[in-house]
Chain A
Amino acid sequence: MTTLAPSVDPRLALLQTRFAAVVGGKNAIVSPAELRTYECDGLLGYRVRPRIVVLPGSTEEVAACVKLARELYLPVVPRGAGTGLSGGALPSEGSIVIGLSRMKKILEVDLDNRIARVQPGVINLDITRVLAPDGYYYAPDPSSQSVCTIGGNIAENSGGAHCLKYGFTVNHIVGLTLVTPDGAIVQLGSAAGEPDPLGYDLVGVVVGSEGMTGIVTEALVRVLRSPERTQTLVATFPSCDEAGDAVSRIIGSGIVPAAIEMCDALAIEAIVAATGVDWPLDCGALLLMDYDGVMAEVAEIAARADQLCRDAGAIEIRAPKDEAERLLAWKGRKAAFAAMGRISPNYFVQDGVIPRKDIAAVLREIAALGASAGLRIANVFHAGDGNLHPLVLYDARIPGQEAAAERVGGEILRVCLKYGGSVTGEHGVGHDKLCYLGEQFSADDLETMQAVRTVFDPELRFNPDKMFPTPRLCGDRPGAYVAHPTEQTGEAGRG
């Protein structure tokens, strides 16, 4: 049992006691110091202290917590590893946060049926680690894959560099155990790897529903045979124009790469400084590409991609000399956001999608937005599927810069929409972008999505105040940025 300070509100102590009866004393957290950890996720600029955090250890405990929360009218915010970048796990006022970090077992690996059964707290990369000795892997690979968990990946329908060829989380989840907002335990989708579960694709609805349909307590994931060969190429270009053109040529030629990642000069500078990867600094843009599949085909396709990069004006194209060098290049890419600390005191990650043919044009518009706001913008992103991640650099100590960075971030999303794209490719809407969802979708579209949501949660108690724009949160000027009090005091920054 956690000892509560005498100053603790007796009602809170009672609340703690009731949940402690379900999950055990140390897993029902109400002390302000411990609650601090749960005030935000990877979107650091917003903090709300939940009333209580519980860490159940089983499906049954999750169901009991959900029922109790319902009885007490508590809003419920599910939480995985807290690495999300859209504030999806940001607590609501007076909410209970249900954290899944204790449910981290890989329950079953069934290679004959090419599935694995995992608990939601399993770290993404750990599935591949377990499968690798047999030559299998779990495909979705968000950059945070060494720390993020499957439950969070499911909530956000996480992507990653290699979803260009292999699809997103939703394409790799075949079945789920869901605790619905009324506390029922329901099995959705496939139970043992059989295809075509009967009825509506509720797995497809729950994946990406950002914690609004319940809590996933078990997932049946698809595992893939690792490809015979992976060829990595690193190509440098004078500017993003040529690099963007190379991406268009490669995709347009009918090649389906496993991944094409793009870094501009600022991003290269930060990555080289942070990781020591041996990339040239005297170029304007770099493409990191993977081509995978059967050996003979990969050789042929990589050669064609090489030629297409040269046609687009590549300065230099390298293939890593061994697996260690290949992994280092990818490590550099996956550490890119963190590397920004090398070149800027603060940065703000944006996530938007555009058609792949428009990369060069959109990057020019983004650069112009940065220039007019007096801010530098680095770009490191999934070029192969048009998923931009502009990093707006700023210094929170300079008054007005943070707000300016937020405004530029919003303008970038509007540029994505102008080109027929989306306001989020993989980070989710969460708290961060809900006001922009109303710019991407009509009132009727959103009402239809709400109709789907209420099938699961008629009381709108699960992750309320997320995804859907409301007049209270967005006013009549959607997207207008209001700094959180902690940001104004400089207590917190973003990312």
Chain B
Amino acid sequence: MSSIVVAGVASRDVVTPRTVEELADTVRELLGARRPFAFVGGGTQIDLGNPPKALDTIVRTVALDRVVDYIPEDQTITVEAGISLAELDRVLAQYGQMFPLDVVDRNRATVGGVIATNAYGRRRQRYGTAKDLILGVEIVRPDGVRARGGGKVVKNVAGFDLPKLMVGSLGTLGAIASATFRVYPLPAATRSAALRFDHADDVTAAAKAVLERRLEPESLALYNHDTLVVTFAGTEAGVDAQMRTLLEIAFATQGEARELTALEQESYEQRERAVRRDGAWRFRIIAPPAVRVATLGSYVAGSPLAVPVAYPQLGVALHAYAADAIPPDTPGRSGASQFEDLRRYVGSRTGGHGRLVIDAMPNWARGKIDSWGSPPPSFALMRSMKASFDPHGLCNAGRFVGGL
């Protein structure tokens, strides 16, 4: 493959270094030639963000796929960035452990991509995001210099926290070459139930009761505004007891509860992946957890392509629409204005603390709608951070918040 399209922009070339040293050499050469570059792992989030200002070469990290150091007794693993989550799962499963971040395609998604995009799904409820799991990182800076931060042990406060800085930086501060993570034991038992409600108030009451009753679900996801799927994972006795309490909660909140078979549970997870993968339009609404975030997306006029999914205790809702659900410019109304209206609506319904982030959009909209929305108040520091790492603006420049 000689070209890859990143957020609507096609590269001129693709290179795939086989070692971290080769990765560093590649970046140094690109810098020397002043050729704009971007890093791509499995490519599952390649639509994310604004079009890069300029793009010459894609540096693929998929050949950096080695396990550097796995210490099962310490529940830590160090891997190169290009390893797929499926392969990581396989390695960890040999010792009954897991990497509990949810992505749309474990066969393709890489560890580096998960870090760069801060990808998460339903299990964030219990395990958090890469920010909570990452212990150390090695990066290749935009000037080709290799640098480490953090370490390989579960606790460490030596030096500035480069690992945290890299999480969610969308490859604009350099390439992630390898990373160390805290991993978790595979749960002995997992059970799920779906609670269906007629009224939005009851959904809120049930989600709140799960917390109030001190249940500790692995995930809690709301499908289509009315069906709350709650999964418990842990010891057999712990899971059973929590399922019993959940049924009490369902009864008290007028929910129709049903335990899910493994197959049904998988089908719900399938739907979660669909809303994160399918559709020319995909967006996330983010708000403080007390906001009923699931209801805000219905403002869009077209009909959804996938069942919307929300994580009510986190304050995140995911939506997917087909390209034609939001038409391009029509006389008297630009296509982009519909999203800008939604953005304003989300802001107004959340006391200004809610946001709309567009994960994918049709090509006509690129460059007309900002994926991220207005930059945050600390943007001057972020711009200075970018300038400090990438003074020539060659590294995935323009794709992230405010053109970082």
Most chain A CB within 10 A, of B149, B290, B384, B401, is at: B290
Q: Per-position contact with A for B157-201: 1 when CB-CB < 8 Å, else 0?
A: 111111011011100010000000000111000000000000000
Digit string of A127-157 for contact with B (CB within 8 Å is 1, else 0)? 0000000010000000000000000000011
Which residue of A has the minimal Cβ distance to B124? A195
- 8 A Cβ contacts from B352-404 to A: 353-355, 357, 372-373, 375-382, 384-385, 388-389, 400-402, 404
Does A467 belong to the interface (CB within 8 Å)?
Answer: yes
Q: Does A421 contact B (CB under 8 A)?
A: yes
Q: Are B401 and A198 in contact (CB under 8 A)?
A: yes
Q: Which residue of A lies closest to B376 (CB)?
A: A198
- Chain A residue at minimum C-beta to C-beta distance from B141: A448
**Quick one: given A194-B287, A200-B165, A297-B237, are A252 and B73 in contact (CB under 8 Å)?**
yes
**Bound state CA distance, A453 and B388, in angstroms?**
10
Q: Please choose the segment from B27-35, B238-246, B266-274 that sits at the chain A interface, where 4 or more of its residues have CB less than 8 A away.
A: B238-246
- A170–B235 CB distance below 8 A: no
Docked-complex contact B382 and A202, CB < 8 angstroms:
yes
Q: Closest chain B residue to A201 by CB distance?
A: B164
Given contacts A382-B155, A387-B155, contact A254 B186 (CB under 8 A): yes
A402 at the A/B interface (Cβ < 8 Å)? Answer: no
How far is the CB of B212 from the nearest CB of chain A, in Å? 8
Count of chain A residues with Cβ under 8 Å from any Cβ of B? 92
Of B214, B239, B354, B384, which one neighbours A225 at CB under 8 angstroms? B214
Do residues B155 and A425 form an inter-chain contact, with CB atoms below 8 A?
A: yes
Binds B, one of A36-44, A49-57, A180-188, A333-341: A180-188
Contact of A199 among B158, B159, B185, B400 (CB under 8 A): B400
Assuming A195-B286, A422-B151, is B162 touching A251 (CB within 8 A)? no
Residues of B close to A353: CB separation below 8 A: 151, 153-156
CB 8 Å contact bits of A66-80 with B (1 = contact, 0 = none): 000000000000000
In the bound assembly, the distance between CA atoms of A442 and B162 in angstroms comes to 14
Q: Which residues of A (360-416) have their CB < 8 Å from a CB of B?
A: 382, 385-387
Q: Do residues A186 and B377 form an inter-chain contact, with CB atoms below 8 A? A: yes
Stretch at the interface among A205-213, A312-320, A322-330: A205-213
Chain A proximity mask over B216-245: 1 for CB below 8 Å, otherwise 0: 100000000000000000111111111000
Residue B149 contacts which of A167, A201, A254, A445 (CB distance < 8 angstroms)? A445
> Which residues on B sit within 8 Å (CB–CB) of A180?
381
B97 within 8 A of A: yes
User: Residue B53 at the A interface, CB < 8 A?
Assistant: no
- What are the interface flags for A166-192 relative to B under an 8 Å C-beta threshold, 1 for contact and 0 otherwise? 011011000000001000001110011
| Contact for A445 among B73, B147, B165, B384, CB less than 8 A | B147
Beta-carbon contact of B153 and A421 below 8 Å: yes
B314 near A195 (CB under 8 angstroms)?
A: yes
Query: Roughly how many angstroms separate A169 CA and B117 CA in the complex, as a whole number?
Result: 23
Q: A180-B381, A293-B216 are in contact. Are A422 and B158 (CB under 8 A)?
A: yes
Residue of A whose beta carbon sits closest to that of B232: A294
Which B residues are in CB contact (< 8 Å) with A208?
Answer: 157, 160-161
- Distance in Å from the Cβ of B253 to the closest Cβ of chain A? 17
Question: Is B152 an interface position by the 8 A CB rule?
Answer: yes
The answer to whether B155 touches A159 (Cβ under 8 A) is: yes
Query: Across the interface, which residues of B come within 8 angstroms of A227, CB to CB?
Result: 214, 216
Q: Known: A204-B131, A355-B74, A423-B158. Contact between A295 and B241, CB under 8 A? A: yes
Encode contact with B along A336-365: 1 for CB under 8 Å, 0 otherwise.
000000000000000001111100000000
A455:B384 contact, CB within 8 angstroms: yes
User: What count of chain B residues pass the 8 Å CB interface test?
Assistant: 86
Evaluate contact between B153 and A420: CB separation under 8 angstroms.
Answer: yes
Select which of B132, B236, B350, B378 is within 8 A of A186 by beta carbon.
B378
Beta-carbon contacts under 8 Å, B297-344 to A: 314-316
A262 at the interface (CB under 8 A from B): no
Asked if A480 is at the interface (CB within 8 A of a chain B CB), the reply is no
Pairwise interchain contact A187-B235, C-beta atoms closer than 8 A: no
B97 touches A254 (CB 8 A): yes
Given the contacts A168-B155, A422-B156, A199 and B378 also touching, CB distance less than 8 Å: yes
| Given A195-B316, A387-B155, A294 contacting B215 (CB threshold 8 A) | yes
A184 and B212 CA atoms in complex are apart in Å by 40
> Is the beta-carbon distance between B158 and A429 smaller than 8 angstroms?
yes
Interface residue B211 (Cβ < 8 Å from any Cβ of A): yes
Nearest CB of chain B from residue A69's CB, rounded to whole Å? 20
Residue of A nearest to B242 (CB): A294
B71 contacts A355, C-beta separation under 8 Å? yes
Taking a contact as CB atoms under 8 Å apart, the answer to whether A251 and B75 are in contact is yes
Contact B147 A191 (CB under 8 A): no
Enumerate chain A residues within 8 angstroms of B169, measured Cβ to Cβ: 200-201
> Contacts of A204 on B, CB cut-off 8 Å?
131, 161, 164-165, 167
Tell whether A113 pairs with B289 under 8 Å between CB atoms, given A201-B167, A254-B97.
Answer: yes
Q: Across the interface, do A437 and B159 meet the contact criterion of CB distance under 8 Å?
A: yes
B123 interfacial contact with A, CB 8 Å = no
**Is A187 within 8 A of B378, CB to CB?**
yes
Cβ contacts under 8 Å, B128 to chain A: 167, 171
B16 interface residue, CB < 8 Å from A? no
Q: Give the contacting residue for B404; candidates A156, A199, A467; CB below 8 A.
A: A199
Q: Which of B274-303 contact A (CB under 8 A)?
A: 286-290
Check if A282 is an interface residue, CB within 8 A of chain B.
no
Write the chain B residue with the least CB distance to A458: B384
Question: B145 interface residue, CB < 8 Å from A?
Answer: yes
CA A208 to CA B157, docked complex, whole Å: 7
Give the complex CA separation of A204 and B169 in angstroms.
12
Give complex CA distance A420, B373 in Å.
Answer: 42
- Least CB distance from A464 to B in Å reads 15
Cross-interface CB contact of A254 among B96, B314, B376, cutoff 8 Å:
B96
Specify which chain B residues have a CB less than 8 angstroms from the CB of A188 in the assembled complex: 378, 381
Chain A: minimal CB distance from B363 (Å): 24
State in angstroms the CA–CA spacing of A255 and B212 once bound together.
25
Point out the residues of chain B lying under 8 angstroms from A202, CB to CB. 378, 381-382, 385
Q: How far is the CA of A191 from the CA of B374 in the complex (A)?
A: 15
Cβ of B148 under 8 Å from chain A: yes
Which A residue sits closest to B160, measured CB to CB? Answer: A449
Residue pairs across A and B with Cβ atoms less than 8 A apart, 12 shown, are A157-B161, A196-B316, A198-B376, A201-B168, A225-B212, A294-B234, A295-B241, A355-B152, A356-B154, A422-B156, A440-B151, A442-B147
20 new A-B contacts at CB < 8 Å, known A256-B184, A421-B152, A437-B158: A112-B289, A167-B128, A188-B378, A200-B382, A204-B161, A225-B211, A251-B74, A256-B185, A294-B214, A296-B237, A296-B241, A353-B153, A355-B74, A386-B153, A425-B155, A429-B158, A442-B147, A445-B148, A452-B162, A456-B381
Interface residues of B (CB under 8 A from A): 71-76, 96-97, 118, 128, 131-132, 139, 141, 145-149, 151-162, 164-165, 167-169, 173, 184-186, 211-212, 214-216, 234-242, 286-290, 314-316, 350-351, 353-355, 357, 372-373, 375-382, 384-385, 388-389, 400-402, 404
A-B pairs with the 7 shortest C-beta distances?
A297-B238, A254-B185, A204-B164, A296-B241, A112-B290, A448-B147, A449-B160
